[in-house]
Chains A and B, each alone.
Chain A
Amino acid sequence: MNTTITTPRIWQARQTVPGVRHSFVQAGALLRTWSRDPGIVVQSLVFPAFMLLMFQLVLGKTVTSMGGGDSVYGNTGLVALVGALFGTLATAISLIHERDTGLLARMWTLPVPRSGFIAGRLIAEALRTGIATVVLFCVAVPLGFRLEHGIAAGIGAVLVPMVFAIGIAVPVIAMATVASGRQAVQQLGGLFLLLLFFNGGFAPVSEYPGWLQPVVRHQPMSPAIDAVRGLTEGGPVAAPLATTVAWTVGLVVVFGPVAVRGYRRAAERR
């Protein structure tokens, strides 16, 4: 502070905020903001917990009797992903709010690598989902959920929704920042609702009509649910895990450029 100011060195120093550190600062700021927003806390922590309790209470017995293992494992995986989906929508609403209040524009003028804004956002989405998944696993234990394959596999099971969340967050950021946003976010909510009911976790794939089964089996949530199930209850892990990663990479590749352009436009609009 009180060193004498000899001009250019301070300018030099201002230019070198490392991208990684900036990403994590950005992620931390977002997580703190989200933790104070009741809408986001409810959508990503409280609602999934209640949803799991209700699914087990109402449909647990029925779905278990359909075959395909104890329904609590499928439902826990499913609901962890639902928390990721709807939590991402809630954070998208807060992103639109940040754009409209000019916060994004102000941050855009900071001397930091701009890639860190989106990277930080994706890290924050992944961490939020990870925290929510751990909470959800705790809720699921009294319902009969166990880490049958040990702690390491359990950590893997938490990582699956986190990877999934990154894949989902990219198109959501794209939709939220292109055009006016709110409308698009609502429509995504409708699409997510369909994903929520038409997957291998809600009911065994064989319960769906034949022509729909390929869609149900291959939509992004089904392999992720299978991976969580495999890492906790048991069953194949490698193939569903690879499919989940493939979905995430695919979504990032397809929607990444749109999201980057949309974010830039949102930040530069004012």
Chain B
Amino acid sequence: MTTTTVETTPRTRSQGGQGGAVARTSVGPVAATATLARQKVLAAFRSGDVVFAVLGPVVFFLCFYVPLHRQFELGGADYAQFLTPIILLQAGLFTAITATESAGHDARAGVHERMMSLPIPRVTPFLGRMAWVVVRMVLALAGGLAIGYALGFRFEGSLWHTLVFMALVVVFGLALSMLTDAIGTVARNSVSIASILMIPQLILVMASTGLVPAEGFPDWAQPFVRNQPLSVFAGTLRELATGTGIDLTAALAWSAGLLAAGGAAIITAGRAQVKR
């Protein structure tokens, strides 16, 4: 089933040195990553995670849209346009939570040890997992934008605005997944970690300007609600979707910060892994 891990090894050369201590030809980072990524994606197809990636945003969109849109649209705004960004960002959070479990599974099942014995660059298992994260985010974008479009979401800006919109969503999911991948790699019980991560997920999504405007919150909560990262991202995504009043500074700063934190976490987790 998963035996196809690294078949790209050039057979002829590696078999040439039987008896001698030579001829372990290392596999290049691109080939190794491609193989590992393909394996992750195929595993996701088999486990049905692909279906969750696409349908997750659709289900959440309907869950919030159907009961709440009438009340919201009394003010004359369009709720699908308002809601789509937070649904896509929430898909990013869920992708990150899935990444914890996936990395934890690899760490427990001895996949890491087997990888370490292969002549591939150390980072490639991580890159393979992150390749799946990117694919999952694209699938989530497809699902979320499809249901959003069906109920009234529109890109009104230029093509560039649309591309930046999509890139921001993917970067958000990727950066968070780097963090949680590192946590899952190091933690002993990653399934429990994943269920605990549902709580910050809930708080960040609900207490943001993604579902209702900041004015709907009590005064004491408003500073947090306005400035937490999901509100910042949701606001920027909305501006990009309408193509007016765009200010990328805060979202880009958050992206850079999250990517940097994710990178640092991955390096730390990688070091801990090598020491074993």
Q: Which residues of A contact B (CB under 8 A)?
A: 37-39, 42-43, 46-47, 50-51, 54-55, 57-59, 61-62, 65-66, 90, 93, 183, 186, 190, 193-194, 196-198, 202-203, 207-209, 212
Taking CB atoms and an 8 Å cut-off, the chain B residues in 211-233 that contact chain A are: 211-212, 216-218, 221
Does the CB pair A50–B212 fall under 8 Å?
Answer: no
Tally of chain B residues near chain A (CB < 8 A): 31
- 5 A-B pairs besides A38-B189, A59-B211, A186-B48 with CB distance below 8 A are A43-B195, A58-B217, A198-B63, A207-B67, A208-B67
**Residues of chain B within 8 A of A208, CB atoms compared:** 66-67
The one of A39, A43, A196, A203 in contact with B68, judged by C-beta atoms closer than 8 angstroms, is: A203
The complex places the Cα of A62 from the Cα of B196 at a distance, in Å, of 28
C-alpha spacing A55/B217, complex, angstroms: 11
Chain A residues with CB under 8 Å of B211's CB are 58-59
- Say if the beta carbon of B164 comes within 8 Å of chain A: no
Q: How far is the CA of A46 from the CA of B199 in the complex (A)?
A: 8
Cβ contact of B202, chosen from A50, A61, A193, A203, cutoff 8 A: A50
Q: Kindly list chain B residues whose C-beta atoms are within 8 Å of the C-beta of A59.
A: 68, 211-212
Q: Check if B63 sits within 8 Å of A38, measured CB to CB.
A: no
Residue pair A62, B203 in contact (C-beta under 8 Å): no
Considering only CB atoms, which chain B residue lies closest to A190 in the complex?
Answer: B59
Q: In the assembled complex, which residues on chain B have CB atoms less than 8 Å from the CB atom of A212?
A: 66
Closest CB in chain B relative to A141 CB, distance in Å: 18
B44 to chain A, nearest CB (A): 13
CA distance in complex: A172, B47 (Å): 20
Q: Is B207 in contact with chain A by the CB < 8 A criterion? A: yes
| Residues in B whose Cβ lies below 8 Å from that of A207 | 67-68, 70-71
* CB of B206 within 8 Å of the partner chain: yes
B34 within 8 A of A: no
Instruction: Indicate if the CB atoms of A47 and B48 lie closer than 8 Å.
Output: no
Assess whether A39 is in contact with B206, with CB atoms less than 8 Å apart. no
Q: Is B64's beta carbon under 8 Å from chain A?
A: yes
Task: Give chain B nearest CB distance to A73 CB in angstroms.
Answer: 17
Residues of A within 8 A of B192 (CB): 37-39, 42
* Cβ–Cβ contact B196 & A42, under 8 A: yes
Q: Is the CB of B195 within 8 A of A42?
A: yes
Residue from the list B47, B195, B199, B206 in contact with A90, Cβ < 8 A: B195
- Could you tell me the distance between the alpha carbons of A145 and B157 in the complex, rounded to whole angstroms? 46
Q: How far is the CA of A93 from the CA of B203 in the complex (A)?
A: 25
Contacts of B42 in A (CB 8 A): none
Nearest 3 A/B pairs, CB to CB: A197-B63, A203-B67, A54-B206
Chain A residue numbers with a CB within 8 Å of B217 are 57-58
**B116 is an interface residue with CB less than 8 A from chain A:** no
Minimal beta-carbon separation of B208 from chain A (angstroms): 9
Kindly list chain A residues whose C-beta atoms are within 8 Å of the C-beta of B218: 57
